Amino acid sequence: MLNAIFSQKISGPKACWSLIAGWLAVLPLLSLGLAAAPTARADNLSLDPNMDAAWKRTDQYVAQGSAGRSWLWGPQAFSIRAEDYDGAPANGSVAAGQRLVAYYDKSRMEINNVNSDRSSKYFVTNGLLVKELISGKRAFSDTRTVSYLPAEIPVVGDPNPSPSSVTNKAPTYAALAGVASLNLGQNKASNRTGQVVTAYIERDGAPREDLRFASYNVTLANYDGTFGHNIPKVFWDFMNSTGPVLENGQRVNGAVVDWLFSTGYPIMEPYWTTAKVGGVDKDVLLQCFERRCYSYTPSNPAAFQVEMGNVGRHYYDWRYNTPEITCENNPIRGFGKLWSENPSVKARLSCPYYYSTEQASKMSVQKFEHGMMVWVNYNNTPFYFLPYNKTIFIIFDDGSWAQTRDTWDPSQPVNSGLTPPPGLFEPKMGLGNAWRNETGLKVRERLGWAVAEEVPGDGAIQAFYNGIMLWYKPTKEIFVAYRYYNRTNVWETYPDTFVG
């Protein structure tokens, strides 16, 4: 049966369609001595000394132009602020329940527990920003996440003017959901070490092979079995490179990238893409890890062929530089509570359709082995998302849905007399007609038999620009149907938590 996809408590800032953040091609900055890292301020907060030390270790010499490599963090922290994080102790000007964070182009530094061991390298951590950007789930504690829309921001290359325009063919973070391992065992690849990378991906998120990339002769050098992904030699060499770093106040030759700490495990295979950089299409190899993304641009100068992606900048823009949805009339009661408290629902549905308000209706629900059917009897004028006075929504357990008209009338048989397996049921009347006759949708094959009889009850509906909400009184459930979101119809169910 379908379960609520997002069942956690919702709080935090509201979000809408993500704006696009720029990919910054930053050349090393020349400076003298070992001055403190330059910082920008937000909310009158400053870098913690451990944050400053983490930046200095690798990027002080990049800023001086004496390291001959690309940035690990970026030239400076462009925002230093407090963010909500359950259970975090107070930290100077940062209140309890918040943590100090510093945003750099390439990542975000965090201090989750100011009372922990300052001598540990994990006193300052990197967030799992890439996983959040791809999944849309922002972390507000070690265990609590809030669902927003995944980031429609190109992973590499120039920004697109709007989420719907395509000038940069490179995939967005949202487009990587189909190839990324956000959970163990998901999209796992086989060990292909030694093979040449010819896989290609762009904004549609569909991987394919393009043998022209074999000319770059980029081979796979390591297989990480955690999520099951191969790492190309160009990235593996960078991840294990040595060079000038600052340790204990001294310039030494040491490991530049503590990759498990700074990047995490790879969560996708490497893919070539066509990225528009400075208005010019370039071949770029990209691969995302839990915390950061790498890019390899063969046409760049040797020291800057491998770079960290601007994940910190992209995440900041996704989180903070997004417009708020404002409507002439907001939904109320259970619809309004769900819509206002769940940023993902609000962003995907948008505003009520042509000032639509909640309307009462008769409904009937029947659960199946692999989904459900919802019958809605709506006596008012039909509209785009409810085209018939009697509409049947067919909901499959993969979260997709379709709709059809109820064509049954009392002159027709109640059912077709099929004999279901023990404990199961054949649907009747309008649901039965749709179950048997909608062969194009393969409803019967995809739903299976009903697991219970149809249950009628009172309900309510409200139309939005990008979908519809249905409330079913017998179970106090709210069904949310999104129309053509992410190129397919998506359906979710939530408990109605409104009291009043």
User: 186-221, pLDDT tens digit by residue?
Assistant: 999 999 999 999 999 998 899 999 999 999 999 999
pLDDT tens digits, 305-325: 999 999 999 999 999 987 778
In a domain, 139, yes or no: yes
In a domain, 341, yes or no: yes
Both 111 and 178 in a single domain? yes
Both 83 and 161 in a single domain? yes
| pLDDT beyond 70 at 490 | yes
Domain boundary pick from 264, 291, 320: 320
Instruction: Determine the pLDDT at residue 444.
Output: 94
Q: Quick one: average pLDDT of 373-398?
A: 81
Q: Quick one: average pLDDT of 427-447?
A: 91
In a domain, 328, yes or no: no
Q: How far is CA 451 from the centre of its chain?
A: 34
Task: Work out the mean pLDDT of the chain and round it to a whole number.
Answer: 86
Domain boundary pick from 297, 320, 343: 320
In a domain, 10, yes or no: no
Both 236 and 189 in a single domain? yes
Res. 99 pLDDT band, cuts 50 70 90: very high
Contact 106, 121 (CB under 8 A): no
Instruction: Determine the pLDDT at residue 488.
Output: 55
Instruction: Determine the pLDDT at residue 21.
Output: 30
Q: Quick one: average pLDDT of 376-380?
A: 81
* DSSP assigned state of 95: P
Sheet containing 359-368: order of strands: 401-405, 390-396, 371-377, 359-368, 455-464, 467-472, 477-485, 488-495
Both 277 and 371 in a single domain? no
Burial of 32 (0-12, 13-18, 19+ CB in 10 A): exposed
Q: How far is CA 466 from the centre of its chain?
A: 19
Instruction: Determine the pLDDT at residue 485.
Output: 45
Sign of CA dihedral 23, 28, 31, 35: positive
Both 467 and 411 in a single domain? yes
- What value does the CA radius of gyration of the chain take, rounded to a whole number of Å? 26
In a domain, 29, yes or no: no
Both 408 and 359 in a single domain? yes
Closest C-alpha among 320, 282, 315, 318 to residue 300: 282
Domain range for 163 is 49-320
Res. 166 pLDDT band, cuts 50 70 90: low
Between residues 344 and 420, the one the model is more confident about: 420
Ranges of H-type helices in 47-154: 49-64, 129-135
Instruction: Determine the pLDDT at residue 161.
Output: 67
Query: E strands of 406-500, at which residues?
Result: 455-464, 467-472, 477-485, 488-495
Instruction: Determine the pLDDT at residue 31.
Output: 28
Burial of 252 (0-12, 13-18, 19+ CB in 10 A): exposed
Both 346 and 370 in a single domain? yes
Both 278 and 357 in a single domain? no
Both 188 and 253 in a single domain? yes
Q: Quick one: average pLDDT of 361-387?
A: 85
Both 371 and 302 in a single domain? no
What is the number of structural domains in the chain?
2
Both 128 and 264 in a single domain? yes
Both 309 and 355 in a single domain? no
pLDDT tens digits, 405-417: 998 999 999 988 8
Instruction: Determine the pLDDT at residue 487.
Output: 46
In a domain, 17, yes or no: no
Res. 23 pLDDT band, cuts 50 70 90: very low
Q: Quick one: average pLDDT of 259-264?
A: 93
In a domain, 226, yes or no: yes
In a domain, 143, yes or no: yes
d(CA 204, CA 209): 14
Residue with the two structure tokens 């593996």: 236
Domain boundary pick from 293, 320, 347: 320
